[in-house]
Every structure is written in C-alpha cells, then in structure tokens.
Chains A and B, each alone.
Chain A
Amino acid sequence: MSDLPIERQKRGAFTARLGALRKHVPILSPALVFILIFCIGGLLFKNFFSARVILNLFTDNAFLGVAAVGMTFAIISGGIDLSVGAVVSTSAMIVAVLNRAGAPPIVAIPTALAFGAGLGFLMGCVIHFFKAHPFIVTLSGMFFARGFGYVLSWQSVPIGHKFYSVMSQIGIPFGGYLKLTMPACIFIAVALIGYVIQRATKYGRNVYAIGGNEQSAFLMGLPVGKTRILIHTISGFLAALGGIVLTFYMLAGFGNAAYGLELEAIASVVIGGTLLTGGVGSVLGTLVGVLILGVIQTLISFQGAINVYWTKIFIGLMLFIFILLQKAFMLSAGQRNK
C-alpha cells in the first residue's frame, strides 16, 4: 500500500513523457506516413528513391502548397476559404492578360496579388460585419473569381514574356543538374514565414485563440474582427501568389486552371494534422500534407497509368484514414484528461 504513491509518481512521469510525445502526434504521424509511402515507392520502382523525385515534389506542388498555407490560417481560425482555387486561376489569368496588353511583370504581378488580397479583404469584411457564414461567403467569392477569370478571357492566354520562363528555370543549385527551383523556394519560404507568424507573433496566437473559442477570444479583448479580416486577406494574397507561381510553369492563363484546388488544399491541411474545428494545427503539418498528396501522385505516375481517378480515390482514402487517426487520437486525449 505504501509504495502506491511511488508507483503513481513513476506512472505520472511516464505519462508526462508520453504526453509530450503525443503533443507532436498530429505532425509526426503525417511525416511518418510520408516516409512510409516514399519507401514503398522506392521498393517498387528503381529510380524513385532519388533526390530528384524529392525536389520535384516541392516544385510540382508549389502552387497548391502556397494556397494551402493560406487555407491553414483560415481553418485554424475555425473558418474556411473555398475561393482559393478560383483565385489561383484568375490571378494567373490577370498576369496573362496584362502581359498580352504589354504590361511588364513589375506591374502585372502586383496587380494580381492586389486582386487576391482585395477579394480576401472584402470576403473577410462580409463575414465579420454581417456575421455571414464563411462557407457561403467564400463560395460566392469563388463564383465571382471564376466568373471574372472567364470574363477576362474565355480561351487560354499564352504568356510569352521572358521573365516567367526564366523564373521557372532558375533555382538554388544542388550539385549536378539538380536544383531547388524558384517555385519550390517560394513554397518553402511561404511555409517558413507562415510558421514563424503562427509561433512567434501575437497575431498568430490570436488566430489560434479565435479558432479555439471565438466568444472567449472576444471577451478576453482580442481583436476578433481585425484578425478574421486579415486571415482572409492573407489567404487571398497567398492564393494569388500561388497563381503567379502557376504562371511560371504553365506559361499561360486559363479560366479552368486549378479546378478543385480548394479541395486538395483542404485535404492537405487536414492530412497535415490541422483540426477542422479550429484551434489546433500547424503550417508545417500542411507542408507535409501537400508532400503526401504529391508523393501519391508521383507514385501513380511512376506506375505508368495517367489515371486521374486513381489519384482521386487514393487522396480520398488518405483523407479518410487520417481523419480516423485524428479521431482516435482525440478520443484517447479526452480519456486521459478524465
């Protein structure tokens, strides 16, 4: 009987250590899954296990990644942004049309960024001032952005300016002909900046607080409205940046481009461990989530079949498994607290 407290102490120390580990489970588990899928690819295919495949993962998914970082902010705050795919496509279209009209990149690119940020700002204002549901407001924003893209041009508009093709060529050399391309650099930079904002700034903490409980955040005196409007402005800005990254490899603006991107972005955010109820999550997790979607696509393209539907089915399955994992994790956490 007397040794019970000691045992309890031991158990306490053990569970504390376990708890510290558990805190990182949402990010660790997607990272493990990424490594697992990558190793499966390496076992199945000869040339899969290479630095080139990894570097290409960053390059090929840069526009999705940049948009997904913005989505992470929206989802952590308990909201959502369905307009990102449309804004990606339309900002690429704005660049293309301005370029066709003779505007240099220094004019075209800021205009596109301003469009994205401006639309996000307006949506944030409607959500905050009219207490409208983010789902519906960003849905109309998506219709508006797509429609605006179609109005600019019904057909695909090629971009002939040298700047854009150069941007897709240059990058940080990695020895030999390997390099971290410009789109990949932008993706990584955006993710890092996003991470720093989340961890080290007052604004980042406000986003978590609002997602945790908007009412309490408001009662604590946090600037709920300002934060929410800024979240949507950031998300719109990043989606537009994603569109500009898209022009680097598409070298064209196309009204139907990035169709369904918002869903892939949501999927990668969720797979990356961010809870859709808000309050929990991280941009780094989203980065891993984007890489998981990318590695699945690479695996399927290595298979030789360019079957988009298999990709879709796998992404859906991945989403399913991860949500179940999250659920199980939260259940065990809840029991621990009891």
Chain B
Amino acid sequence: MSNKEMGAQTGEVRQAGARNINPVVWSALSLAVILLFNLIFTRGFFSITIKEGHLFGSLIDILKRASPTLLIALGMTLVIATKGIDISVGSVAAIAGSVAALVVRGGDITYLQETIHATVPLFPVFAFALLAAALCGLFNGFLVSFIGIQPIVATLILMITGRGVAVLLTGGYVLNFDHARFEFVGTGYLLGLPFPLILAVGVFVIVFGLTKLTPLGLLIQATGGNTTASRYSGVNTRVVQMLVYLISGLCSGIAGIIITSDVRSADANYMGLWLELNAILAVVIGGTAMTGGRFKLFGTIFGALIIQSLITTILTRGVQVQFTLIVKSLVVIFVILIQSERTREFFAKSRRKITSTG
C-alpha cells in the first residue's frame, strides 16, 4: 500500500517533470520539421547567394517577410503576458502607415490619388507615425488599466474605429509616393541583410533587455499571474498595463511604417489586415499561454518564423493560394493540441504506466 503510494508520488514527480518541457522547444521543433521538409522536397530552398552585396534566397526572404508579424508579435507577447490581448494592432499599423504616407507626401492632402515624388526629411515621418501609434497604444492601455474594460473589448473599439480613422486620413485613396530614402526602411539592405529584419532584431533586443535587465519582466509576469494579488503587494499594475499596450502600439507603428515603405503606398483599407491574428498565433505557437503570466520572447520569434515559413513553403510548393488558409489552420490546431495540458498529461500518464509496469 505504502509502496503503491510511493510509486504514485514518484509518478507525479515524473509527470511534473514531463510537464516542464519548455514549450519553446516544441515550437523550435515545429520550425525544424518545416525546414526539414523543405530540405528534402524543395530544391534550392537553403541556397543563399550574394547579389550586389546583398544576401538572396528563400530563407532570407522568410526572415524579411516575417519581420512585421514578428514586430507586432513581440508587443503582443508582453500584452498577453499581462493576461490581456490587443486586437487593434492591424488598425494601428494602418493608421501609422497612413500617417507616414501623408507626411512623406508633405502633408499635401489635395490630389491624393496622384503619385508624388517627395524628398521630405525622414525624421518627421517617423515622429508623426510613431506618435500616432503611441497615442493608440495609450488609449488601449487607459481603457484596460484605468477604466477596467476587458482587453478584448477595449481593443475591439480601436480595431473597428481605427481602420475608419485611417481611411478618413487617406480620404479613401491609395496613397502612392516615390521617396528613395524612405523606401530604404522596407526594401533596403544593411550589411547584406534586409533592413526590416535588422529593425525587428533591434526591437527584440530592446524588449528582451527591458524585460531581463529591468524589473519590468517580473512586474509583467506578476500582473498577468494575478492582477489583484500583485496590486495588493505593491505592484502598480495600472502603469504596467499602460506600458505594455504602449509598447504594443509602438511595435505596430513600426510594422505599419515598414509595410508602407515596402509597397511604396498606403492602402488604409487593406494594410495590416489579418495581422492581429497572425501575431496572436505567433505568440501562442511560441509557447506563451493566453492565460497570462510567463512569456517566451524567443518562442515568439519561432512562432512568427513558423507562420511565415509555412506560407512560403505552401507557395513555393506550387499549392494553390486558396489552400494556404486551410493548411495554416490545420497546423495551428495541431500545435495547439500538442501544447495543451491534456496532451502533456496523457504523455506523462503513459510514461508513468510504462515505468510502473517495467
């Protein structure tokens, strides 16, 4: 009897051990599987050539295209870690992109339908676009922290209104422009690498540093783990919440600037559409739980890369575009099921059975 109990206890210890497999490992493995698939089936997937001093190849392409999603997902990781969610990121990106395009055009709102060859200095372009994004983030944060609205509804307001505001700003036109220096942000190369990637990595380093070198990371985890308890133990949860939504807004703003610069136009109706969903998926696939608390910034990188390499793989395999969404949904469901507590419990139980019989 006592032996059996002992066995059950050690089993539980093992179960806990099995549960402690870092979810980041799972997402890294998923990414590895997708890349392995390409290594075997897609010819030339891993070849990287140097043309005019820039690196070219499918892998570089994936890194470049994943950058906007990655940027937004970084902010989203912090928001989700505080038990929140920010579904306004696509609209915020659209607002920031529209503002950037307007400033690049010199603020001239007449003849919006014409392409303008502009040479405006870059500083006001970034300043105004990021200011707009920051205001959006602060608005979200204010609603969540001070008024106490559930995050999904609070950000739903800006998601619906924001796109309306962006279309209002651009007068409903697709704003086209020519501006060699501004286009560098989305299409340029630095040290042989695409500039959006360098921006994304830079933001990652800043966010990672903020959460590891300052108490911010701990405060975010505390707020997400139990908001009330954190408040009673002296954490200013409101400021923490304001801050994560501000960071999320800024990240979306940078992503919006990159997208606008990349396509040399701002289309307020379609810019950043579906971005919020991709970003949330990237965060969840990366191992950060929707229930808040612990967060995995490295996992988020893997999540964003998984989504983009999946899309690139589907397209390079010659699968029709229509199937992209279906394949994406199936992979996402698969990853969710693998990461779910029940599955891990199941594995742990079967392992316990093996050890107890053996």
Residue numbers of A with Cβ under 8 A of B are: 80, 126, 129-133, 135-137, 139-144, 146-148, 150-151, 154, 263, 266-267, 270, 276-277, 307-313, 315-317, 319-320, 323-324, 327
Contacts and interface: CB of A to CB of B under 8 A. Distances in A.
Interface stretch (B13-21, B31-39, B62-70, B149-157): B149-157
B343 A147 contact: no
B161 interface: yes
Given A150-B321, A315-B160, A316-B160, 13 more contacts: A80-B152, A126-B333, A129-B342, A132-B337, A133-B284, A141-B329, A143-B329, A144-B330, A267-B160, A311-B164, A312-B164, A319-B160, A320-B161
A276 B149 CA distance: 9
B153 A136 contact: no
B337 A131 contact: no
Contact of B277 (A80, A139, A144, A315): A139
Interface stretch (B3-11, B165-173, B192-200, B294-302): B165-173
A151 B326 contact: yes
B357 interface: no
Contact of B153 (A148, A154, A270): A270
A313 B91 CA distance: 12
B202 interface: no
A159 to B, nearest CB: 20
30 contacts: A130-B336, A130-B342, A131-B340, A131-B342, A140-B329, A141-B329, A143-B325, A143-B326, A143-B328, A144-B326, A144-B329, A144-B330, A144-B333, A147-B322, A147-B329, A150-B321, A151-B326, A263-B159, A276-B152, A307-B172, A312-B161, A315-B160, A316-B161, A316-B162, A323-B153, A323-B154, A323-B157, A324-B147, A327-B147, A327-B149
Contacts of B158: 316
A135 B325 contact: no
Contacts of A308: 164, 167
A151 B322 CA distance: 5
Given A130-B342, A143-B328, A266 B156 contact: yes
Contact of A310 (B149, B164, B321): B164
A137 B337 CA distance: 10
B322 A150 contact: yes
B264 interface: no
Contacts of A130: 336-337, 340, 342-343
Contacts of B328: 143, 147
Nearest to B274: A143
A320 B147 CA distance: 11
Contacts of A327: 147-149
Contacts, number: 126
**Secondary structure class of chain A's binding surface, majority of residues:** helix
Sorting the interface of chain B by its residue count into under 10, 10 to 19, 20 to 34 or 35 or more gives: 35 or more
A277 B172 CA distance: 36
A151 B321 CA distance: 9
B145 interface: no
B290 A319 contact: no
B291 interface: yes
A131 B341 contact: yes
Contacts of A307: 172
A158 B152 CA distance: 37
A234 B325 CA distance: 24
Nearest to B171: A309
Nearest to B323: A151
B281 interface: yes
Contacts of A312: 160-161, 163-164, 167
B156 A147 contact: no
B238 to A, nearest CB: 15
B164 A316 contact: yes
B12 to A, nearest CB: 19
A310 B172 CA distance: 11
Contacts of B159: 263
A82 to B, nearest CB: 9
A138 B340 CA distance: 15
Contacts of A270: 153
B174 to A, nearest CB: 14
A110 B132 CA distance: 49
B332 interface: yes
B325 A313 contact: no
B324 interface: yes
A266 B85 CA distance: 16
Contacts of A142: 277, 329
